[in-house]
Structure 1
Amino acid sequence: MADADDARDDDVLELLAGRLVQESGITKDEALELIKFIGTDWNSLLREAHFLKKRQQWG
Protein backbone atom coordinates (compact mmCIF):
# COMPACT_ATOMS: atom_id res chain seq x y z
CA MET A 1 0.00 0.00 0.00
CA ALA A 2 2.86 2.40 0.73
CA ASP A 3 4.12 2.02 -2.85
CA ALA A 4 0.73 3.10 -4.21
CA ASP A 5 0.67 6.10 -1.87
CA ASP A 6 4.20 7.09 -2.88
CA ALA A 7 3.32 6.82 -6.56
CA ARG A 8 0.21 8.92 -6.05
CA ASP A 9 2.22 11.55 -4.16
CA ASP A 10 4.77 11.61 -6.98
CA ASP A 11 1.98 12.05 -9.53
CA VAL A 12 0.54 14.97 -7.57
CA LEU A 13 3.96 16.62 -7.33
CA GLU A 14 4.50 16.15 -11.06
CA LEU A 15 1.14 17.79 -11.81
CA LEU A 16 1.89 20.66 -9.46
CA ALA A 17 5.33 21.15 -11.01
CA GLY A 18 3.83 21.13 -14.50
CA ARG A 19 1.29 23.77 -13.54
CA LEU A 20 4.03 25.90 -11.98
CA VAL A 21 6.09 25.64 -15.17
CA GLN A 22 3.12 26.80 -17.26
CA GLU A 23 2.22 29.65 -14.94
CA SER A 24 5.70 31.02 -14.35
CA GLY A 25 7.99 29.92 -17.17
CA ILE A 26 10.59 28.23 -14.98
CA THR A 27 11.95 24.78 -15.81
CA LYS A 28 10.44 21.58 -14.47
CA ASP A 29 13.59 20.87 -12.46
CA GLU A 30 13.37 24.32 -10.89
CA ALA A 31 9.70 23.77 -10.11
CA LEU A 32 10.37 20.44 -8.43
CA GLU A 33 13.20 21.99 -6.42
CA LEU A 34 10.91 24.80 -5.24
CA ILE A 35 8.28 22.26 -4.21
CA LYS A 36 10.86 20.33 -2.20
CA PHE A 37 12.07 23.54 -0.55
CA ILE A 38 8.77 25.36 0.04
CA GLY A 39 6.13 22.65 0.08
CA THR A 40 2.86 22.68 -1.81
CA ASP A 41 1.42 26.09 -0.89
CA TRP A 42 0.44 27.42 -4.32
CA ASN A 43 0.72 31.14 -3.54
CA SER A 44 4.20 30.73 -2.07
CA LEU A 45 5.34 28.57 -4.98
CA LEU A 46 4.03 31.01 -7.57
CA ARG A 47 5.60 34.03 -5.82
CA GLU A 48 9.01 32.36 -5.60
CA ALA A 49 8.81 31.03 -9.17
CA HIS A 50 8.11 34.52 -10.50
CA PHE A 51 10.96 35.89 -8.41
CA LEU A 52 13.29 33.20 -9.77
CA LYS A 53 12.26 33.90 -13.36
CA LYS A 54 12.82 37.66 -12.97
CA ARG A 55 16.18 37.04 -11.35
CA GLN A 56 17.23 34.85 -14.29
CA GLN A 57 16.22 37.58 -16.75
CA TRP A 58 18.31 40.19 -14.91
CA GLY A 59 21.39 38.06 -14.57
Structure 2
Amino acid sequence: MAEQPRQSGLSAETLAALARETGGSEQQIQEIASLIGNDRSSIVREARMVAADRPKR
Protein backbone atom coordinates (compact mmCIF):
# COMPACT_ATOMS: atom_id res chain seq x y z
CA MET A 1 0.00 0.00 0.00
CA ALA A 2 1.35 3.44 -0.94
CA GLU A 3 2.18 5.85 1.83
CA GLN A 4 -0.03 8.89 2.18
CA PRO A 5 1.81 12.23 2.43
CA ARG A 6 1.97 13.48 6.00
CA GLN A 7 0.32 16.77 6.75
CA SER A 8 2.46 19.43 8.43
CA GLY A 9 -0.32 21.03 10.45
CA LEU A 10 0.84 24.52 9.44
CA SER A 11 -1.72 27.08 8.34
CA ALA A 12 -1.71 28.40 4.79
CA GLU A 13 -0.60 31.80 6.11
CA THR A 14 2.34 30.26 7.98
CA LEU A 15 3.38 28.24 4.94
CA ALA A 16 3.30 31.36 2.77
CA ALA A 17 5.26 33.41 5.31
CA LEU A 18 7.94 30.74 5.69
CA ALA A 19 8.20 30.36 1.91
CA ARG A 20 8.73 34.12 1.51
CA GLU A 21 11.25 34.22 4.35
CA THR A 22 13.35 31.32 3.09
CA GLY A 23 12.94 31.55 -0.68
CA GLY A 24 11.44 28.06 -0.82
CA SER A 25 8.07 27.00 -2.10
CA GLU A 26 5.08 26.33 0.12
CA GLN A 27 5.24 22.68 -0.92
CA GLN A 28 8.90 22.46 0.18
CA ILE A 29 8.04 24.04 3.52
CA GLN A 30 5.18 21.60 4.04
CA GLU A 31 7.44 18.64 3.18
CA ILE A 32 10.12 19.85 5.58
CA ALA A 33 7.60 20.39 8.37
CA SER A 34 6.09 16.94 7.84
CA LEU A 35 9.56 15.43 8.27
CA ILE A 36 10.95 17.43 11.19
CA GLY A 37 7.91 18.91 12.91
CA ASN A 38 6.50 22.40 13.36
CA ASP A 39 9.42 24.10 15.10
CA ARG A 40 9.80 27.35 13.14
CA SER A 41 13.55 27.75 13.57
CA SER A 42 14.17 24.16 12.44
CA ILE A 43 11.98 24.64 9.37
CA VAL A 44 13.75 27.89 8.47
CA ARG A 45 17.19 26.28 8.90
CA GLU A 46 16.32 23.30 6.71
CA ALA A 47 14.57 25.41 4.05
CA ARG A 48 17.57 27.72 3.80
CA MET A 49 19.88 24.74 3.39
CA VAL A 50 17.67 23.42 0.59
CA ALA A 51 17.63 26.84 -1.07
CA ALA A 52 21.43 27.09 -0.81
CA ASP A 53 21.81 23.73 -2.58
CA ARG A 54 19.74 24.86 -5.58
CA PRO A 55 21.74 25.98 -8.61
CA LYS A 56 21.68 29.73 -9.21
CA ARG A 57 20.02 30.91 -12.43
What number of residue pairs does the alignment pair up? Answer: 49
Give the C-alpha shift of residue 13 in structure 1.
Answer: 3.0
List runs of 5+ in structure 2 lacking aligned partners: 1-7
RMSD: 2.1
Q: Which structure carries more relative contact order (alpha carbon 8 Å, separation 6+)? A: 2
Are the equivalent residues in 2 in contact too, given 1:13–1:32 (CA < 8 A)?
A: no
Higher helix share: 1
Determine which structure has more spread, i.e. the larger CA radius of gyration. Answer: 1
Aligned to 1:39: 37
Q: Percent identity?
A: 22
C-alpha distance after superposition, 1:5-27 (max 9, x if no partner):
xxxxx884322211110100101
Q: TM-score, normalised by structure 2?
A: 0.71
1:26 counterpart = 2:24? yes
Q: Does structure 1 retain, via aligned residues, the 8 Å contact 2:9–2:38?
A: no
1:43 and 1:33 map into 2 onto residues whose CA distance is 15
Shift, 1:37, TM fit: 0.7
Runs of 4+ in 1 over 6 A off after TM superposition: none
